Structure 1
Amino acid sequence: MISKSDNIRTIETVLNLDTGDKIYSHILFDNKENEHIVFSYREECQEAISGRREPFLVCEVCGQMVQISGGKGLNGKIKYFKHLKDSRDCPIKTDTKLSKDLILRGKFNGQKEGKLHIETKQYVFDFLCYNQENKGEITFVKQEIVNKSIRDNLEWKKPDVTSVFNHKNLVFEIQLATTFLNVICDRQYFYKDNQTFIIWVFKSFDIESDKQRFTQKDVFYSNNRNAFILNEEAIRLSQSNKDLYLLCQYQIPKEQQEGIGYVWESKYVSLKDLTFDKNSYKVYYYDVNAEEEKVRSDINNKKLALEEKEKEKLRLFYEWEEEERRIEKDEEKLKFEQEETERRIQKHKAERQQGLKKEHQDFVAKNFSFFERLENYGDLSPLQNVFHANFYQINEQIDILFKKGYQPCEEDLKFIKNEYQLERRNYKIPDRYSILYFLSLITFYCKLNKNPEYLKVFPRVERVLIAVLSIKEKIVIGYSFKTLIQIPHQFIGNPSRQEFSKPILEAIKSYYGYDSFIQEQDKKKTLEKKIQSLNGNIPNLPDKYKKIVSIVFKDLIL
C-alpha cells in the first residue's frame, strides 16, 4: 500500500552534521508536535545554503546539502527533504546512472566528513601530537594521508589519522555513522596485510545491544570486543595528561551455569596501556577472546567432572537450591530492614518537624514582649516581616532580603535601633537564636548594603563579627556559650580560623581591655597561654574580610 507521502518523499534519511545523528523523514515530518523543530531546521538549512554557516543537513547518500520544502501528496500537503536546484547527480534520484558500488561509496562518503567527524578526527590528531611533543612514543602523525599497499601500489587507503607509535604503524578511523561491513572488513584486511594496526574510534557506544548499530557491532566483534570511545571525559583526560586517552568498553566473560555470560567493563586508557597483537594486527586493552577460552576450558572441565560424578552433580544442585533459598531469605530480610529504616527516617523527620515546631513556639514565647511590640508597628515592612518566619529561617530570610537589594527605610532604621536597645537592656541568658542576635545581623547588613560584593563574603565572616560584637557588649550574642571566654577560644589557636585571630584580640584590647579580660574571664589562664604561644605571630586579616570588619566596627583598628 502506498502511503500519502511515498509519492513525493524520495529522501528517506538525512544526516545532521552538527551532531552526527541520522534523521528519518517520516519521524520528523509526520509528527505534528515536531513542527517547531521542522521550521527551526528549515531556517538553519537556509543559513547554510546562503553560506552564513557551515553545512547543516545533508543527503545521507551523496553528502550534498538539502532543504525542507512542502508539496501536495496523495492526501494533502506534506513536508519533505529535497536536493538543491542544479545539485550534482545522486543515487536516489530517479534518473541516476550511478552503479550500486557508487551508491554505497556515496553513502559512506556522504556521512564521513560531518562536523562531528572532523572535530573528533582533529582531537585524535592533536592528542597524538601532545604525545609526540611530551613523551616521544609517537614519532610520526598526519591526517588524511594515503597509505599505499606494500604489495601493490595501485591499492591504497586514506585513514583519518596515520601515526607511528613505538615503531609500530598505527592508523585511526573515526566511526560515527553507518559504515558497510564490506568497507570495515576491506580496511582491516588492507592494514593487516600492510603490517599496520588500526583503531576505530567512536564518539559514543551504547552497551545495550538493542541500541547498538550494526556497524558498531561489526567493529566491536571484529576487534576482540574492545570499543574505543573519545567522549567528553576522554577529551578532558587527554588535555590534562597531554596524551591521547580513550574510553575502552569491553566484555569480561563469566561462567554462568555451564555457559558464558558477559559483564561490561570500562576504563580510560592511553596507547601504552594497549596490546598490539602482531598476529592479528588488532589493538585491544582486554583480551576477551583469550579470557573466553579460559572460561570455556573451565566450563568443559567442570562438565566432564559432573558427567563422571552424577551424585556430585545432584549434591551441587541441592546446594544451589539451598543457596537460592538463602538469597531469597536474605533479600526478604534486607527488604524488611530497608522498610524499617525508611520508617525510622520518616519517624525522625516527623519528630524533627515536631521538635522544630516546639522550639519555634518556645522561641515566640520566650520573646513574647518583642512580638507584642512588633504587632503594634502596624503595617510591617519587608524587613520587619522576616521575624514572622520560623526562628531557624530568620537568618536565611534576612540574607535573601538584602541580597535582592533591599534598602531599609527610616522607619526600619528606627525599628532596629529601638528594638536593639530594648533587647540589649533585657538580655540575660545567652541564646544561639535570640532577637538581639537577629537585630545584630540586620545591623551588619545595613552597614554593608552599599557594596553588594561584601554581602557575598559576609557568611564567611559573620561569626567573627558576632564574636567582636559580643566582646564589645560584654555579653554572649549569637552563641550558645555560657561564658564570654569561650568565644575567643573558637578562633585563637584554631587552625581553621587562625586568620581571624587578630580582630578578636584587637576587640579584647579596644572594648574590654586586655588585662581586665584575662583577669575577669580567663580564670584558668588557658587563653593567655594560647596567646603567649603565638609569640606575637598574629596573622593579618585578609583584605576581603578586613574591609568588612572595618565598616561594621569603625572604631576597631586592625
Structure 2
Amino acid sequence: MRNMTSVFMAHEDKVIDANEFLDACEEQEFFELRTAIAKNRKTNPIALCNVCFQPVVLRATPQRTTFFAHVKDSEDCPIKTTTNLTMEEIRAMKYNGQKEGRLHREGKQKLAELLKSDPLFTDEIHIEKTFREKNPVGIAKRWRRPDISAQLLSDKREVVFELQVSTTFLDVIISREEFYKNNEAYITWVFLDFAPDKFTTLDIAYANKANIFVFNQEANHESELNNRLVLKCYYRQPYMTEELSIAHQWVSEIVDFSMLKYDESSKKTYFIDTEQLRSQVIKQINDEKLRLKLEQEEKERLRNEAIKQEQEAQKRLDKLERSYAHFPNPKQYKDKTHRAKQPLHTLSSQKSLGDTLICRKCMNIGKPRKMGRLTVCSRCGHEIT
C-alpha cells in the first residue's frame, strides 16, 4: 500500500490520485518524471505532498512498487515515514563503498589504459584527478573527482568517465551531470554489465536518449583487439507491432568511441537517438493505418459499384419484361386450329407480326433465323418455339 495517496502537481495546479497515476504510468514516463522531480525539487518543485505541501520524490520498493515519498531531511508531516539513518549517511555508505570496491578500481584502471592507447584522445588521461569549477561564483570553488578525465585530440573537448558498479541515489547522478554540464565537460556513464531491472541503470539511460554504455568481457576483448576504447551500447529500440501500436525492446551494438555523438544541450555522449527512432516508428504506424484505411475504402467503393451495376442491370431487365409483356407467346398459336379457318389476308398479316419475336433467354427482340427445321434467336442461337 502506498502511504501517500494524493499529490499536488504544481505545474498543472491540480491534485492527482497517486495510486491511479502511478499504476497507469509507463516505465519511460515514470523515469523521466522521477528525474524531472529530483532536478527541480529545491528550486522549482514539480510534485508536493498534498498534506504538508513539501516537495516529494518518486521511489520504488525492491518489488518495483512505485510511490511518492518525502525526502529524509524534510519537515515533519502526518504521513511521513522515518528512518534511523539520514539521507547523507545512507548516500555516503553506498557511494563510498562502491568507490572502494575491487571491480571499480580494476575497471577504472583498464579504461584509463585503453584511453591512453586510443588515438582519438590526447595523452592527458587522468584517474580521479580533481576537476575544478571553471566559473565559480564568489571565492569558493566547487569540484568533482571523476573516475577518469580525458581530452579529445581533434578539438580539445573534455570528456569524463564515471564507472558505475552498484546502485546510486538519483540526486547524486543529477548533481554530477549538472556539474560537468555547467563546466563544459561531456559525461559518459559506464557500467560493467547491463541490468535493465535496476533503477540506477534506468535513471541514467532515460536521461540520455535511452542509451547505456557497458564495458563487459566482449567490449574488453574488442578494445584489446583494436587497441582503443570499445563499448557495448544498449538502447531501447521502438518498433511497430502487428496491432499497429508502438512497443520497445533493448538491443545492443559494439561501438567504437569515435562512433558516439555529443549532445550539446545535456553534455552527454550517446550512440542512437531513440526519440528520433520513435518518431519514425510513429510515422510508420500512421502510414500503415492510412494505407489500410484507403484499401478498405477502395474495397467498399468497388463493392458498392458492383451492387449498383447489378441493380441497374436488374432494372433494365424488369423494364424490358414490362415493356414487352403484351407480345403474344408463339407457343399459344402452335396448335391452334382457328388459324386455318381465318382468311388468307389475315394469316399474312399475322405472319408479318410474327416475324419479330422475343428471345426469352437473351431478351433480344428481332427477326429469328431458320436452321433446318428449327427457329433460333439471331443473337444467341437459342431455339424459339
> What TM-score comes out, normalization by structure 2 length?
0.50
Structure 1 gap segments, 5+ residues each = 1-93, 316-558
Query: As a proportion of its length, which structure holds more strand?
Result: 2
Match of 1:127 among 89, 114, 122: 114
Among residues 191, 204, 220, which one is paired with 2:180 in the alignment? 191
CA distance in structure 1 between the partners assigned to 2:192 and 2:297 by the alignment: 50
CA contact (8 A) 1:276 1:284 kept: yes
Shift of 1:136: 5.1
Aligned partners of 1:161, 1:314: CA distance in 2, in Å? 64
Greater share of helix residues, 1 or 2?
1
Please report how far the alpha carbon of residue 263 of structure 1 lies from its aligned counterpart in structure 2 after TM superposition.
3.5
Partner of 1:118: 105
- Please give the alpha-carbon distance, in whole angstroms, between the structure 1 residues aligned to 2:266 and 2:287: 28
Equivalence map 1:389-538=2 (5 Å): none
- Aligned counterpart in structure 2 of residue 233 of structure 1, from 209, 218, 221: 218
Find the aligned partners of 1:219 and 1:313 in 2 and give their Cα distance: 49
2:191 aligned residue: 202
Question: Per-residue displacement from partner, 1:156-209 (whole Å, max 9, x unpaired)?
Answer: 211100111232211111111110111111111221222211111111104xx4
Residues 130/100 of structure 1: CA separation in 2 closer, same or farther (3 Å cut): same
Task: State how 1:104-115 maps to structure 2 within 5 Å.
Answer: 104-115=91-102
Alpha-carbon separation, structure 2, partners of 1:150 and 1:258: 50
**Correspondence list, 1:252-331, <5 A:** 252-256=237-241, 257-300=243-286, 302=288, 305=290, 309=294, 311-312=296-297
Which residue pairs with 1:181 in the alignment? Answer: 170
- TM-score (ref. length: structure 1): 0.35
Map 1:5-20; keep pairs closer than 5 Å: none
Give the secondary-structure state (helix, strand or coil) at the position aligned to 2:97: helix
For the residues of structure 1 that align with 2:219 and 2:188, how far apart are their CA atoms?
15
Secondary structure of the structure 2 residue equivalent to 1:159: coil
The aligned counterpart of 2:344 is none
The aligned amino acid for 1:147 is F
Structure 2 match to 1:140: 124
SS of match in other structure, 2:125:
strand
For 2:188 and 2:297, locate their aligned partners in 1 and report how far apart those are by CA, in whole Å: 47
CA distance in 1, matches of 2:100, 2:109: 12
The structure with the larger Rg is 2
Identity %: 34
What is the aligned partner in structure 2 of residue 351 from structure 1?
none
2:233 equivalent in structure 1: 248
**How do 1:217-232 residues align onto structure 2 when only pairs under 5 Å count?**
217-232=202-217
Q: Residues 313 and 259 of structure 1: is their aligned pair in 2 closer, same or farther, counting only changes over 3 Å?
A: farther
Aligned to 1:170: 159
The offset of 1:313, in angstroms, is 10
Decide whether aligned partners of structure 1 residues 136 and 229 sit closer, same or farther in structure 2, where only a CA change above 3 A counts.
closer
Contact 1:112/1:177, CA 8 A, preserved across alignment: no
Give the conservation status (yes or no) of the 8 Å contact 1:162–1:172. yes
2:233 and 2:205 mapped to 1: Cα distance? 11
Could you say what secondary structure the match of 2:193 adopts? coil
Instruction: In structure 2, list runs of 5 or more residues that go unmatched.
Output: 1-82, 301-385
Alpha-carbon separation, structure 2, partners of 1:175 and 1:312:
55
SS in structure 2 opposite 1:138? coil
> In structure 2, the residue corresponding to 1:110 is in which secondary structure?
helix
Is the 8 Å Cα contact of residues 229 and 246 (structure 1) preserved in structure 2? yes
Aligned-residue CA RMSD in angstroms? 2.6
Alpha carbons of 1:155 and 1:299: their partners in 2 closer, same or farther (altered >3 Å)? farther
For the 8 Å contact 2:115–2:121, the answer to whether it is kept is: no
Conserved 8 A contact 1:306-1:313 = no
Tell me the residue number matched to 1:547: none
Q: Deviations over 1:123-160 (max 9, x none)?
A: 110100111xxx25334210101212223252221110
| CA shift for structure 1 position 121 | 0.5
2:191 partner letter: F
Q: Does the 8 Å contact 1:144/1:159 carry over to 2? A: yes
Higher relative contact order (CA 8 A, sep 6+): 2
Q: Which amino acid aligns with 1:137?
A: F
Displacement of 1:302: 5.0
